[in-house]
A and B are shown apart, each in its own frame.
Chain A
């Protein structure tokens, strides 16, 4: 017996399936929560980060100046703002603590390749903070945002003097109560 019914009755249930949505803030929230957990479990306390208030998309990070560099014993606070397309797009990162550095401008903007064109979705907050810490130790003086810092960098003694003077001044202004 012939049974030549065309097998076209399997209605294409895929007609509405355009693939998963590109942006899904719930997924990004979950991702950020996971990263927060891993950061909190990480025994390396030279870098840390925590959401600011209830907003999971805005974090405050702290990095310690790398040891055996002019930045040793200095502490810097940064703000991280995550886009809805994270981790496909990088977070916006700025120094809150004034940072005298060839690749940081006076408003705290940072020139770092991985925060722009060389961002990779394989990076996370921890890797980013470690990169920023190593940027402190190894500035790129050929394309400076702060030319004064770039010019002074080869003279590490003078650089450190200027760095500490500005750091102390900025921290005094932070806490007007202390005399």
Chain B
């Protein structure tokens, strides 16, 4: 698969450091659960996209729902496909 960035129209600039210990969406460590998980024993696994970026499963699900109908990785904005 080849991905090409067609156009970058951003006028603002920001950068985000890739962090493999913490979920970028909620800032909580991957070895713990997302801030929405409250029930003891509930699992909050990490999900990986084909773009190699990873997030808590619940954080990613909420982001996909929030940006409907688009489905982009919050980091690289490629179409999100579960790896």
Contacts and interface: CB of A to CB of B under 8 A. Distances in A.
Contacts, number: 74
Task: Classify chain B: how many residues form its interface, as a range.
Answer: 20 to 34
A158 to B, nearest CB: 22
B10 A121 contact: no
A121 B77 CA distance: 11
Majority secondary structure of chain A interface residues (helix, strand, loop or mixed): loop
A99 interface: no
Task: Classify chain A: how many residues form its interface, as a range.
Answer: 20 to 34
Contact of B16 (A122, A128, A132, A135): A122
Contacts of A64: none
Nearest to A89: B66
A126 to B, nearest CB: 9
Interface in A138-153: 138-140
B46 interface: no
A103 B14 contact: no
B25 interface: yes
B74 A120 contact: yes
Q: 6 closest pairs, A vs B, by CB?
A: A20-B36, A131-B12, A88-B66, A140-B11, A127-B14, A122-B24
Given A88-B63, A118-B77, A128-B14, 17 more contacts: A17-B42, A20-B36, A20-B37, A20-B38, A24-B36, A27-B36, A30-B35, A34-B27, A85-B66, A88-B65, A88-B66, A89-B66, A103-B11, A114-B10, A120-B74, A130-B14, A131-B13
